[in-house]
């Protein structure tokens, strides 16, 4: 009876849906579809809307009409826009160099064995963990000409005789926001480069030391080439984030004094939201895209070259 029952039992075949999921093409489509929908809703759709806005004369409460490249032509004669272009490149370049140098120095120190190493690593991450607006308000108070703890310290140390208006002078204001950006970005570089250093075998440096290589030679010819791929990836993310920075500059200076510290993002906000000129604000935002695209492509090509080499 058992044999008969087994012989007559019907083998359950998987449903059509399950059979399709066994195919890697259908499985990949099923897994990627939610991500594609989210990217379309929150990235592709806003980008397309921004392009349409930049080609129109839209204002707050007025949908406007199609004007072509008129908004971009207007930017070509806008001195504040070119100031924002220069500030963005200068701000990104200087802060990235300092973040890389200080982050690499900290990573080399943290890669050593010492008591309380885990606590120090957690403490270094604090500037990166604290919300940007909260930490920036604290820095804004420290740079305040009347209540500045920096002025107080410099005065009592004998370096200055009068109060310095850090955020009221164009050059000092730009320097101030760079200092804050470096302070926030160094932990990201340090922890990322530390992770890269820990993947390098200590035996390589030991072999170089036995061959008579000095510490600087061991770093330049052994450590740095192996750390370069990680460094380039970290710099890529830092450049993208810094190039489109908004919160820090908006809270510290709002683009002032006299529009001297505007970046692409802050100037687009002032034109599009504060002034209500949505189309011109969108044009400023899109003007940032070609510059950033070229920078990212160049860095990606260099990263591929480094990895293949």
| The pLDDT value given to residue 248 | 93
Cα angle 293, 296, 298 (rounded to 5 degrees) comes to 105
State residue 17's pLDDT score.
61
Q: Where are the beta strands (DSSP E) in 111-176?
A: none
Instruction: Using alpha carbons, select from 291, 192, 203 the residue that is nearest to residue 235.
Output: 192
- What confidence score (pLDDT) does residue 308 get? 73
Q: Is the pLDDT of residue 202 over 80?
A: yes
Closest to 172 in 3D by CA, of 86, 297, 260: 260
Return d(Cα 77, Cα 183) in angstroms, integer: 35
Q: Give residue 161's pLDDT.
A: 84
Q: Say how many residues make up the chain.
A: 309
Fold of 70-308: MetI-like fold (1.10.3720)
Share of the chain above pLDDT 90, in %: 33
pLDDT at residue 63, rounded to an integer: 84
pLDDT at 12 over 60: no
pLDDT band at residue 8, thresholds of 50, 70 and 90?
Answer: very low
Per-residue burial over 92-105, b if 16 or more Cβ lie within 10 Å, else e, is bebbbebbbebbbe
Q: Domain-by-domain residue ranges, the chain?
A: 10-53, 70-308
Give the pLDDT of residue 203: 87
- What is the pLDDT, as a whole number, of residue 15? 62
- 3-state class (DSSP) for residue 122: helix
| Upper half-sphere CA count for residue 179 (Cβ side, 13 Å) | 14
Categorize the per-residue pLDDT at 99 as very low, low, confident or very high, splitting at 50, 70 and 90. Answer: very high
Do 282 and 272 meet the contact criterion of CB atoms below 8 Å apart?
yes
Picking from 1-5, 62-66, 89-93, 98-102, which range would have the lowest pLDDT averaged per residue? 1-5
Q: What is the pLDDT of residue 177?
A: 95
Q: Is 113 left (phi over 0), alpha (psi -120 to 50) or beta?
A: beta
Higher pLDDT, 302 or 175: 175
Rounded distance between C-alpha atoms, residue 79 and residue 211, angstroms: 58
pLDDT at 9: 47
Per-residue model confidence (pLDDT) at position 225: 87
pLDDT at 3 over 80: no
Q: Cβ(200)–Cβ(227) under 8 Å?
A: yes
Give long-range contacts, CB 8 A cutoff, 24+ apart: 200-207: 200/226, 200/227
What is the chain's mean pLDDT, rounded?
A: 86
SS3 state at 278: helix
pLDDT digits (tens, 9 = 90+) for 143-172: 988 888 888 888 888 888 888 889 989 999
Whether the predicted pLDDT of 13 surpasses 60: no
pLDDT tens digits for range 221-279: 888 888 988 898 899 889 989 998 999 999 999 998 889 999 999 999 999 998 899 99
| Residue-level pLDDT at 212 | 84
Has residue 24 got a pLDDT over 70? yes
Q: Is residue 22 over pLDDT 80? A: no
Report d(CA 202, CA 60) in Å as an integer: 61
Could you tell me which of 56, 90, 88 has the C-alpha nearest to residue 72? 56
pTM, to two decimals: 0.85
- Structure confidence at residue 20 (pLDDT): 64
Q: How far apart are CA 133 and CA 308, in angstroms?
A: 41
Flag whether pLDDT at 5 surpasses 70.
no
| Number of Cα atoms under 13 Å in the Cβ half of residue 299 | 19
């Amino acid at each position: 009876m058992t044999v008969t029952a087994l012989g007559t039992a019907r083998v359950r075949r998987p449903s059509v849906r399950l059979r399709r999921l066994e195919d890697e093409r259908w499985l990949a489509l099923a897994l990627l579809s939610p991500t594609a929908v989210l990217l379309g809703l929150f990235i592709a759709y806003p980008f397309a809307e921004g392009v349409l806005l930049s080609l129109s004369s839209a204002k707050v409460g007025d949908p406007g009409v199609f004007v072509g490249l008129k908004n971009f032509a207007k930017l070509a004669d806008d001195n504040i826009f070119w100031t924002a272009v220069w500030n963005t490149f200068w701000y990104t370049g200087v802060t990235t160099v300092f973040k890389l140098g200080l982050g690499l120095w900290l990573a080399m120190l943290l890669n050593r064995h010492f008591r309380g190493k885990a606590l120090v690593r957690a403490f270094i991450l604090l500037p990166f963990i604290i919300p940007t607006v909260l930490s920036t308000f604290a820095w804004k108070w420290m740079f305040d000409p009347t209540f500045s703890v920096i002025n107080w310290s410099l005065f009592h140390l004998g370096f200055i005789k009068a109060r310095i208006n850090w955020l009221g002078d164009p050059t000092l204001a730009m320097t101030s926001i760079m200092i804050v950006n470096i302070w926030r970005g160094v932990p990201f570089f340090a922890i990322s480069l530390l992770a890269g250093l820990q993947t390098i075998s200590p035996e390589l440096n030991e072999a170089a030391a036995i061959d008579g290589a000095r510490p600087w030679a061991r770093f330049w010819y052994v450590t740095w080439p192996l750390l370069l791929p990680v460094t380039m990836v970290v710099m890529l993310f830092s450049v993208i984030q810094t190039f489109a920075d908004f919160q820090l500059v908006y809270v510290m200076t709002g683009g002032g004094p006299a529009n001297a510290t505007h970046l692409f993002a802050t100037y687009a906000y002032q034109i599009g939201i504060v002034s209500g000129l949505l189309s011109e604000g969108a044009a400023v935002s899109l003007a940032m895209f070609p510059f950033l695209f070229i920078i990212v492509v160049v860095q990606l090509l260099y990263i591929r070259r480094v990895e293949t080499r």
